Structures are given as structure tokens and as C-alpha cells.
């Protein structure tokens, strides 16, 4: 419930680029890989934005050298830079995720 509330607030108040950075980081954390198979269409649906807005956000992150996007595949190039580009909701999500899941 807390993560849902954080996501809703994030979607309302933060720029698409910061939200995309946050979402990519969260996905990378769970997938444990730098290679993510995600299309613009899927990302737009997940972030609740138009595909055109998602394209601009992907281009902006790519221009900063944080990710590389090519035909449905995103590679995280600069994770520390992506963390900096994300909104503060990412650190909130990390803290909650760590608190809620036991260490194996």
C-alpha cells in the first residue's frame, strides 16, 4: 500500500524523465541486470503517460548518457547518474523494499 501511495504521488508531482529513471532503477533492482526488454509503449502504460512523452523522456536520459535504448531494449549505462536523475521517491521505495522483505 505504501509503494502504491508513493507511486501515485510521484505520478502526480514529478516530471516524466525523473519518474522513468525511478522506474528503470526499480526494474533493474528486481531483474538484477543492466539489460531491460521494455518498449516505449509498455513504459508509457506503466507510467500513465502518452507514448510521445515517453519517447522524449527516453531521448533525454539517453542524451545524458544514462541509458542506451534500441528497439525495445534499454541498457543502463550510468546507474549513479540515473539515481541522480530520479526523483526522491526512489530512495523511499528502496527503504520500504528493504524494510518489508527479509534478507535471505
Full-model pTM: 0.80
Domain that holds residue 94: 2-99
Provide the number of structural domains found in the chain: 1
Render pLDDT for 1-26 as a digit per residue (tens, 0 to 9). Answer: 666 656 666 665 668 899 999 989 98
The Cβ of residue 65 has, within 10 Å, a number of other Cβ atoms equal to 10
Render pLDDT for 39-84 as a digit per residue (tens, 0 to 9). Answer: 888 989 888 889 998 999 999 999 999 999 998 899 999 999 999 9
| CATH assignment at residue 17 | 1.10.10.10
Question: Is 104 part of any domain?
Answer: no
* Helix-then-strand count for the chain, H and E: 6, 3
Amino acid at each position: 500500500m505504501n509503494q502504491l501511495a508513493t507511486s501515485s504521488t510521484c505520478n502526480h508531482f514529478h516530471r516524466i524523465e525523473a519518474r522513468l529513471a525511478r522506474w528503470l532503477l526499480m526494474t533493474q533492482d528486481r531483474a538484477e541486470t543492466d539489460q531491460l526488454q521494455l518498449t516505449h509503449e509498455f513504459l508509457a502504460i506503466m507510467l500513465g503517460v502518452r507514448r510521445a512523452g515517453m519517447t522524449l523522456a527516453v531521448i533525454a536520459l539517453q542524451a545524458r548518457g544514462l541509458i542506451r535504448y534500441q528497439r525495445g531494449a534499454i541498457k543502463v549505462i550510468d546507474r549513479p547518474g540515473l539515481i541522480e536523475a530520479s526523483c526522491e521517491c526512489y530512495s523511499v521505495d528502496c527503504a520500504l523494499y528493504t524494510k518489508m522483505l527479509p534478507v535471505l
